[in-house]
Amino acid sequence: MHFARRAPGTQMKTVTNIMAAVGLFPLDHSVLLRAAEVARTHQARLTVVHVVERLTASALPATDLMEMQQQLELISREQVVAAVAEQVAGVDSVDIRIETGPPSQQLDEVAKEISADLVVMQANQKPSVMEKIIGSTTDRVIRTSVVPVLVVKRPVEQQYQSIAIAVDPADESRTIGPMVAALFPSAVLHLFHAVYISAQFEEVMVRAGTGMDGLSAHREKLVVQAKKCLRDMARELRSHSSRIIVRVYVGAPADTLVQATSSTEVDLLVIGPGTRSRVRQALLGSVTQKVLQNASCDVLVWTNQNN
């Protein structure tokens, strides 16, 4: 994906390939609708991918198993073709691909093969116990993806009108703003930051002789610094979007972001993938995973292509 600084009065080409990962219908109609909307906005190619898991049954002859696999793939193609015909309109170039194998692995390979700029997927609705332990297909795709992943959680009624971008001045999330503005040029941007002092850090400060007044003063200092940082970012974004709102909250990041999405004012939340290692992320969970599970709006996980 290539982003360039937009000159006044010119349209910036930002996206050329959108990949929509679909599974069951009508559940994934929203994925097709949202992916088609982004593709139309940017005159991009849309690739719709459905993955059929490989059948394994040692009790059946190999020829019967192969025939069943082929029939399953044929039925899947017919279903996807019908859904695309019903839900996708106004997109000049649409490709349908039926792949066989582990879903997350196949999706990752296709995304790389077609040089996807954005992957659109459905949120996992009712995770099983095993999925809670090792992660759903969506979780695994997000962990390995080198491009942004848009997780659809709401029915599609209109283009995104109000987008909240979770910003941490300490990491590269502050570079996301211009790219989000280019991807969704008609939306109002809200720059969010949550000021949070962990219980462990509070204990350290108390043991060092800092009282509650000192903790409050430190928290207020962080709020002032965060507001200044977000205002600076807003000024930098003026050339990309004329409608920017800055908000700083106090509280745990995941809880604060989820609460922010409960308002009808926000219809898309943009977050980074987090800085934890994949092992820690899989075992302990992360802000990203908690937001994906509990946010009431769509979530765009913006991964860095250079990672």
pLDDT digits (tens, 9 = 90+) for 251-307: 888 888 888 888 768 899 998 765 444 443 443 347 787 888 889 899 999 876 544
Q: What is the pLDDT of residues 42-93, one digit of tens each?
A: 999 999 999 998 887 665 676 778 888 899 999 999 999 999 999 999 999 9
Helix, strand, or coil (residue 305): coil
Does residue 271 contact residue 166 with C-beta atoms inside 8 Å? yes
- What 3-state class would DSSP assign to 39? helix
Position 68: which residue type? M
Residue 55 is predicted with a pLDDT of 81
pLDDT, tens digit, 9 for 90 and up, residues 197-243 = 877 777 777 777 777 777 888 888 988 988 888 888 888 888 777 68
pLDDT computed for residue 234 by the predictor: 87
Q: In this structure, which amino acid lies at residue 244?
A: I
For 1-156, the fitting CATH number among 3.40.50.300, 3.20.20.60, 3.40.50.620, 3.90.209.20 is 3.40.50.620
Strands 94-100, 162-166: pairing is unpaired
Lowest mean pLDDT segment, chosen from 4-13, 23-32, 123-132: 4-13
Task: Considering the domain delimited by 158-307, tell me its CATH architecture.
Answer: 3-Layer(aba) Sandwich (3.40)
Q: Tell me if 178 sits within 8 A of 240, measured CB to CB.
A: yes
- Residue 116's pLDDT is 96
Contact 36, 93 (CB under 8 A): no
Domain boundaries, the chain: 1-156, 158-307
Sign of torsion, CA 263 286 303 174?
positive
Q: Mark residue 90 as left, alpha or beta (left: phi above 0; alpha: psi -120 to 50; beta: remaining).
A: left
CB 150 within 8 A of CB 271: no
Q: In what order do the strands lie in the sheet with 118-122?
A: 94-100, 45-52, 17-22, 118-122, 149-152, 298-301, 268-271, 162-166, 188-195, 244-250
Residue 307's pLDDT is: 42
- Tell me whether domains 1-156 and 158-307 share a fold: yes
Phi-psi region of 115 (alpha: psi -120 to 50; beta: other; left: phi over 0): left
Tell whether the model's pLDDT for residue 160 goes beyond 70: yes
* Tens of pLDDT, residues 291-300: 888 898 999 9
Query: Which one-letter amino acid corresponds to residue 180?
Result: V
Report the candidate in 38, 46, 16 with the shortest Cα–Cα distance to residue 117.
16
Q: Which two tokens stand for residue 14?
A: 């930002």
Distance between CA atoms of residues 121 and 298, nearest Å: 10
- Residue 135 Rama label (left phi>0; alpha psi -120 to 50; beta): left
**Percentage of the chain lying above the pLDDT 70 cut:** 81
Give residue-wise pLDDT tens across range 94-139.
999 999 999 999 999 999 999 999 999 998 755 544 444 445 888 8
Measured CA distances, 184 to 96, 136, 153, 164, 187 (Å): 25, 27, 18, 12, 6
pLDDT digits (tens, 9 = 90+) for 164-206: 998 876 666 667 888 898 899 889 999 988 888 877 777 777 7
What does the mean pLDDT of the chain come to? Answer: 82
Distance CA 182, CA 74 (A): 38
